[in-house]
């Protein structure tokens, strides 16, 4: 006996790819096979190779999405950031003056009353500078943040617009990741790179240059000597930033893939449960985390080298400045200790500005790579732009479809031809049914008529003209599709049905639109249950229309498809996901709405197609038989075998036979259905709210404590890390102590002072070495335990 399952088991290539979870499950099961693993690795590598790193041009291009207001905000924000940067080195002038006055008085060379008034004056300068800087930084951040949000929104909009214009086969590629994750993750990365961090770079640069300018203006010779530390810092920081940018962008990509995986798993949680796939999912997710960790481990030593070198240079530069400064003071080249302090502070502030710029540059490179990913879609020309205005839009459409020598291969699977030289007539106003084994190409044919794909060979003619002759939007509003899994959008029932309105219908007044929507709902058997809902047509359907039953969803979807009165209806397994009762009601609706229209029906259940004007039997992408039910039974070929296999004599499950009474019965149940549906939904929402509320009330300290107690084998490394952190942190008070001693040196006799200056400068150098060592150790331990460098 022949059945629909006569086809040999599908190869891996032929597995259906509809459900994200099934795809994911297939992917995770494949991972069990080492051969497949190797293939995947190669694919992943190819993909990685193709990954864009983002250039300065990409970053710069983000600003092309700014409007006039954004540009004004950026100009204000950056201008103020530059002012804020310059304010800090100005403080070194005040501080230098303060030190001079102080040492003058303590060494008995100044008048106490003069000192007091000078100090008052200098303190006031400090206050002015601090308040001014506070205001300037605040306004700068606000302006830049607002401009960044607006710009990111514009980039996201352009990305979504281009994505929606892409041809359908663009979405067949798994490497695209989910669009929502691209918009969210890459949008956030862009926003981070063009907001406060962007302004901070200008602040840092202004700090860097103004510090040097002030130092050179105050004492150019000493300034140049101290500046000898800058090239070393510059080289090391630049190398470390470049290395870190590469690591960071790899990690972000891995996290984004992990995000897509978790999103798929959560959105298909029932399938995950049903297939007991938790472990595989968690394992796959863990593989991503491990990969991110491996790369992350390289970041800490890199930071260790960067900060260790930077602070070593700064501290040893300070030692050098005091050592040389005292000699210049002794020879009369420098008049006061204030000059030395001024130069030292200005140069060290400038030098350290480089490392504060470093993390911001990383945010910039991240933004550039995120932008390059979004731009690669924005720039991608669509070979079949559904929103393009080109193409003819005739005023009438007969709905006659002729298929000639049609062959097709999916672009994403070029080695497997799906349709082979198909010839078929789908006459206007008649019902044509497509039947055949799963995977024989029925839905593919529907996809080609909808113009989701371009045929490889042959033609599909609508009213004698190839589909490419018509405007795509016009075509899709004349050929409406009803699929197995109806997709409704968040919003009211009215809004969902009204989405099907086309052309002049969209500009009708609300009353007329309402009448059209109601008419369509009456025709699709949906009006009755909608009226019984508490808010009628204004009822919210909820996320993925979860507040409606499968049959109700399908009838609303049918209403949406027919509200524009299309000439052609494509019904792809429109009732197969429903239980027999709902199927009967929906089938009844379909029978009514398809009267007088060209209808192409795909159905596995032959009872639903036996009344069709022409039944076409497909096998392996070819038409093997066609005719009416009676003719095909007489022929006693494949169709007859299928009929026997399904035992059409039995009335059970014969959807078309459901009576009007049963329809009414279902409608009377609607109210109950609605209520029982709503309650679990509310409970689910409460559960989501509870989960969204976060961390079971654990505070930061408790979280850190749990983390530490779970990592007992790392205690020794924690201990070492604490010691190293204490040493690294301790160098700053030690520096303050040494500074005080070195300032004192300027208040005693030259001979005695020289000896002490040498000693304390040496001590400074030793502190610098301790600091260098401590930062290295912290970097190494972070690498070992997998901590973020900043955490320590
Ligand atoms: N987007 C796609 N990319 C690559 N191959 C695809 C794609 N969609 C379907 N296929 C392949 O094309 C072949 C025909 O699929 P199609 O969905 O047209 O079959 P069908 O007859 O409608 O099956 P069913 O009755 O199970 O829905 C199958 O081998 C399938 O794996």
- Tell me, what's the ipTM? 0.96
* Ligand 1 center to 14 CA (angstroms): 7
Residue 485 CB–ligand 1 contact under 6 Å: no
Averaged pLDDT for residues 17-28: 40
Q: Is the CB of 5 under 6 A from ligand 1?
A: no
* 411 CB near ligand 1 (under 6 Å): no
Distance in Å, CA 16 to ligand 1 centroid: 6
Q: To the nearest whole number, what is the mean pLDDT of the chain?
A: 78
Q: Whose CA is nearest to atom 26 of ligand 1?
A: 438
CA–CA separation, 570 vs 476, rounded Å? 11
440 lines ligand 1 (CB under 6 A): yes
The pLDDT confidence band at residue 577, using thresholds 50, 70 and 90, is low
The ligand 1 atom at the shortest distance from the C-alpha of residue 13 is 31
pLDDT in tens, 377-396: 888 888 888 888 888 888 88
> For the residues 439-448, what does the mean pLDDT come to?
89
Write out the two tokens for 296: 């992350």
Indicate if ligand 1 lies below 6 Å from the C-beta of 444.
Answer: yes
Give the closest residue (by CA) to ligand 1 atom 25: 438
According to DSSP, the β-strands at 568-572 and 479-482 are parallel
Whether the pLDDT of residue 241 is over 90: the answer is no
Give, rounded to a whole angstrom, the gap between the first and last alpha carbons of the chain: 72
* Residue in 407, 412, 418 to alter for ligand 1 test, most ligand atoms within 8 A of Cβ: 418
pLDDT over 60 at 663, yes or no: no
- Helices 229-267 and 20-30 meet at what angle, rounded to 10? 110
Ligand 1 proximity of 22 Cβ (cutoff 6 Å): no
Angle ∠(762,740,306) on CA atoms, nearest 5: 55
- Residue 492 DSSP symbol: B
The pLDDT of residue 6 is 37
Which of 10, 16, 572, 602 for a ligand 1 pocket mutation test, highest count of atoms within 8 Å of Cβ? 16
- 130/407 Cα distance (integer angstroms): 75
Residue 173 confidence class, pLDDT cut points 50, 70, 90? low
Highest mean pLDDT among 184-193, 348-357, 685-694: 184-193
- Mean pLDDT confidence for 156-185: 77
Phi, psi of 135 (to 5 degrees): -65, -45
Question: What's the rounded Cα separation, in Å, for the pair 359 and 354?
Answer: 10
Q: Identify the DSSP state of 536.
A: G
| Closest Cα to atom 31 of ligand 1 | 14
The number of the ligand 1 atom at minimal distance from the alpha carbon of 16 is 31
The predicted structure's pLDDT at residue 300: 79
Q: What is the average pLDDT across 671-695?
A: 45
Mean pLDDT of 112-125: 81
Which H or E run contains 528? helix 527-532
pLDDT value at residue 107: 66
Q: How confident is the model at residue 505 (pLDDT cuts 50, 70, 90)?
A: confident
389 φ, ψ to 5°? -80, -5
Q: Is 295 helix (H, G, I), strand (E, B) or coil?
A: helix
Binding site membership of 442 for ligand 1 (Cβ less than 6 Å): yes
Give the confidence band of 75 by pLDDT, cuts at 50, 70, 90: very high
CA torsion angle for 530, 534, 538, 539 (degrees, to 10)? -80
Average pLDDT over residues 442-459: 89
Ligand 1 pocket test: pick from 4, 5, 410, 484 the residue with the most ligand atoms within 8 Å of its Cβ. 410
Distances in Å between the Cα of 444 and the Cα atoms of 140, 276, 418, 421 are: 56, 31, 8, 14
Cα distances from 106 to residues 154, 323, 597, 600, 736, in angstroms, run 62, 22, 103, 100, 19
Closest residue by Cα to atom 7, ligand 1, is 410
Residue 172 Cβ inside 6 Å of ligand 1? The answer reads: yes
Portion of the chain with pLDDT greater than 90, in percent = 14
Residue 319 has pLDDT above 70, yes or no: yes
Band (pLDDT 50/70/90 cuts) for residue 658 is: very low
Ligand 1 atom 24 nearest Cα: 438
Is 441's C-beta closer than 6 angstroms to any atom of ligand 1?
yes
- Tally the residues of the chain: 792
Q: What pLDDT is recorded for position 69?
A: 95
Q: Is 751 helix (H, G, I), strand (E, B) or coil?
A: helix
> Which residue would you say has higher pLDDT here, 405 or 230?
405
Mean pLDDT score, 658-678: 40
Helix axes 337-378, 299-330, angle to 10 degrees: 150
Ligand 1 mean position, distance from CA 428 (Å) = 26
Whether 284 shows a pLDDT value over 80: the answer reads: yes
3-state secondary structure of 480: strand
The rounded distance, in Å, linking the Cα atoms of 276 and 458 is: 45
Ligand 1: atom nearest CA of 172 is 1
Q: What is the dihedral of CA 100, 102, 107, 108, to 10 degrees?
A: 110
**Cα(444) to centroid(ligand 1), Å:** 6
Average the pLDDT over 539-560 and give the result.
79
Ligand 1 site, residue 621, Cβ cutoff 6 A: no
Element spanning 177, H or E: none
Judge whether residue 789 has pLDDT over 70. no
Radius of gyration of the chain (CA): 37
Structure tokens at 194: 């063009």
pLDDT in tens, 592-615: 778 888 999 898 888 888 888 999
Decide: 141 and 77 in contact? Cβ < 8 Å. yes
Of 173 and 732, more confident: 732
How far does the centroid of ligand 1 lie from the alpha carbon of residue 442, in Å? 8
Least confident of 19-23, 51-55, 224-228, 405-409: 19-23
Predicted confidence band of residue 546 (pLDDT cuts 50, 70, 90): low
pLDDT (0 to 100) of residue 63? 94
Residue with the larger pLDDT of the pair 485 and 419: 419
pLDDT at 297: 80
Look up tokens 């009755």; give the residue: 528
Question: Is any atom of ligand 1 closer than 6 Å to the C-beta of 409?
Answer: no
Tell which atom from ligand 1 comes closest to the C-alpha of 445. Answer: 18
CB 369 within 8 A of CB 249: yes
Residue of the nearest CA to atom 13 in ligand 1?
439
Most confident option among 7-21, 38-52, 458-472, 636-650: 458-472
246 CA distance to ligand 1 middle (Å): 40
DSSP states of 551-604 as a string?
Answer: HHHHHHHHHHHHTT--SEEEEESTTTTS-HHHHHHHHHHHHHHTTTSEEEEE-S
Q: Give the pLDDT confidence score for residue 275 in this predicted structure.
A: 80
**Which residue, among 583, 622, 565, 224, has the nearest Cα to 423 in the 3D structure?**
622
Query: What distance in Å separates the CA atoms of residue 248 and residue 240, rounded to the nearest whole number?
Result: 12
Q: Which of 439, 450, 484, 606 to mutate to test the pocket of ligand 1 (most atoms within 8 A of CB)?
A: 439
Ligand 1: atom nearest CA of 446 is: 18
- In 427-530, the DSSP E strands lie at 431-436, 457-462, 465-466, 479-482
- State the Cα–Cα distance between residues 215 and 668, nearest whole angstrom: 87
Check residue 72 and give its pLDDT: 96
Would you place residue 26 in the very low, low, confident or very high pLDDT band (cuts 50, 70, 90)? very low
Angle between helices 550-562 and 580-593 (to 10 degrees): 10
Ligand 1 pocket, 174 CB below 6 A?
no
β-pairing verdict for 598-602 and 431-436? parallel
Confidence of residue 178 (pLDDT cuts 50, 70, 90): low
**pLDDT exceeds 50 at position 35:** no
Q: Which residue in this structure is represented by tokens 């602070």? A: 311
Q: Which tens digit of pLDDT belongs to each residue from 727-771?
A: 888 888 887 888 777 777 777 777 777 778 788 888 888 888 888
**Distance from C-alpha of 639 to C-alpha of 631, rounded to nearest angstrom:** 10
């Amino acid at each position: 006996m022949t059945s629909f399952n006569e086809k040999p088991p599908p190869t891996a290539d032929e597995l259906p790819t509809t459900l994200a979870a099934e795809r994911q499950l297939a992917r995770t099961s494949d991972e069990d096979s080492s051969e497949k693993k190797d293939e995947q690795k190669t694919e992943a590598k190819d993909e990685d190779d193709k990954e864009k790193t983002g250039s300065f041009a990409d970053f710069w291009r983000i600003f092309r999405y700014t409007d006039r207001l954004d540009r004004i905000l950026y100009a204000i924000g950056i201008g103020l950031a530059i002012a804020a940067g310059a304010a800090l080195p100005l403080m070194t002038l005040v501080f230098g003056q303060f030190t001079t006055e102080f040492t003058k008085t303590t060494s008995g060379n100044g008048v106490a009353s003069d000192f007091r008034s000078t100090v008052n004056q200098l303190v006031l300068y400090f206050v002015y500078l601090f308040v001014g800087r506070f205001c300037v930084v605040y306004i700068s951040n606000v302006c830049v943040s607002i401009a960044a949000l607006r710009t990111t929104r514009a980039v996201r909009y352009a990305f979504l617009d281009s994505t929606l214009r892409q041809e359908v086969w663009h979405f067949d590629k798994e490497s695209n990741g989910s669009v929502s994750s691209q918009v969210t993750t890459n949008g956030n990365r862009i926003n981070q790179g063009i907001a406060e961090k962007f302004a901070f770079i200008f602040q840092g640069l202004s700090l860097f240059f103004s510090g040097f300018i002030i130092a050179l203006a105050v004492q150019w010779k000493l300034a140049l000597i101290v500046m000898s530390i800058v090239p070393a810092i510059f080289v090391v920081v630049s190398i470390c930033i470049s290395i870190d940018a590469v690591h960071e962008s790899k990690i972000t990509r891995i996290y984004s893939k992990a995000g897509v995986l978790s999103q798929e798993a959560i959105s298909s949680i029932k399938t995950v449960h049903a297939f007991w796939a938790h472990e595989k999912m968690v394992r796959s997710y863990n593989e991503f985390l491990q990969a991110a960790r491996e790369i992350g481990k390289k970041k800490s030593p890199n930071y260790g080298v960067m900060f260790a070198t930077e602070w070593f240079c700064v501290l040893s530069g300070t030692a050098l400045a005091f050592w040389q400064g005292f000699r210049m003071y002794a020879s009369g080249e420098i008049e006061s200790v204030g000059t030395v302090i001024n130069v030292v502070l200005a140069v060290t502030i400038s030098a350290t500005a480089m490392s504060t710029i470093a993390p911001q540059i990383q945010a910039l490179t991240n933004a550039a790579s995120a932008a390059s990913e979004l731009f690669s879609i924005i720039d991608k020309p669509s070979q079949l732009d559904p929103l393009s205005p080109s193409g003819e839009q005739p005023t009438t459409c007969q709905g006659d479809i002729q298929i000639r020598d049609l062959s097709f291969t999916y672009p994403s699977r070029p080695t497997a031809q799906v349709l082979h030289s198909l010839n078929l007539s789908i006459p206007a106003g008649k019902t044509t049914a497509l039947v055949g084994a799963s995977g024989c190409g029925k839905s593919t044919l529907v996809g080609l008529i909808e113009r989701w794909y371009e045929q490889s060979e042959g033609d599909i003619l609508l009213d004698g003209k190839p589909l490419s002759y018509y405007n795509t939007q016009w075509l899709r509003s004349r050929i409406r599709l009803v699929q197995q899994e109806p997709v409704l959008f968040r919003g009211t029932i009215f809004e969902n049905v009204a989405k099907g309105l086309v052309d002049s219908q969209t500009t009708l007044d609300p009353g007329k639109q309402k009448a059209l929507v109601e008419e369509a709902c009456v025709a699709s058997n949906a009006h009755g249950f909608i009226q019984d809902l508490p808010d009628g047509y204004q009822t919210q359907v909820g996320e993925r229309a979860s507040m409606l039953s499968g049959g109700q969803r399908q009838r609303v979807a049918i209403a949406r498809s027919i509200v524009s009165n299309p000439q052609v209806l494509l019904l792809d397994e429109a009732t197969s996901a429903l239980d027999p009762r709902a199927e009967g009601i929906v089938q009844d609706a379909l029978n009514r709405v398809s009267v007088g229209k060209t209808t192409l029906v795909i159905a596995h259940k032959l009872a639903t197609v036996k009344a069709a004007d022409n039944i076409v039997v497909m096998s392996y992408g070819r038409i093997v038989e066609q005719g009416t039910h009676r003719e095909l039974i007489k022929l006693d070929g494949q169709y007859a075998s299928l009929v026997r296999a399904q035992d059409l004599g039995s009335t059970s499950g014969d959807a078309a036979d459901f009576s009007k009474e049963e329809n009414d019965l279902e409608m009377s149940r609607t109210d109950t259905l609605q209520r029982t549906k709503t309650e679990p939904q509310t409970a689910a929402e409460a559960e989501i709210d509870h989960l969204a509320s976060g961390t079971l009330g654990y505070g930061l300290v408790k979280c850190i404590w749990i983390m530490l107690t779970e990592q007992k084998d790392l205690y020794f490394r924690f201990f070492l890390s604490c010691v190293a952190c204490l040493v690294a942190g301790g160098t700053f008070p030690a520096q303050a102590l040494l500074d005080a001693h070195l300032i004192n040196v300027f208040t005693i006799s030259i001979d005695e002072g020289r000896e002490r200056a040498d000693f304390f400068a040496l001590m400074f150098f030793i502190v610098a070495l301790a600091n260098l060592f401590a930062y290295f150790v912290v970097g190494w331990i972070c690498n070992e335990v997998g901590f973020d460098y900043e955490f320590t």
